Amino acid sequence: MLFHVTMDVDIPADLDAGVRADTVAREKAYSQDLQRQGKWRHIWRVVGQYSNVSVFDVDSTDELHDILWNLPLFPYMSVKVTPLCPHPSAI
């Protein structure tokens, strides 16, 4: 199952710098592991924003839910999920 996911991040300005650095490092490691597994198929940064547009390829909505909820930055995110299906004109 393919999903288009938009993630907008809003880390509080007063978050301890060490906590921020650790959280961002864990986020990067987690996302790169998911990319190596083929679950996080694409990730693009949105210019001028702390935001990304991603495509996930997962077995179920529950799996996607678990992946997103386990993102270290999830508590600071606004997430929009759109299910995708093949287009009849695609070659």
pTM: 0.92
The closest of 32, 61, 42, 59 to 81, measured between CA atoms, is 61
70: which 2 tokens?
Answer: 């386990």
pLDDT above 90 covers what percent of the chain?
100
Domains along the sequence of the chain with CATH: 2-84 (3.30.70.1060)
Cβ atoms of residues 38 and 46 within 8 Å: no
Band (26; pLDDT cuts 50, 70, 90): very high
Residues 38-61: tens digit of each pLDDT: 999 999 999 999 999 999 999 999
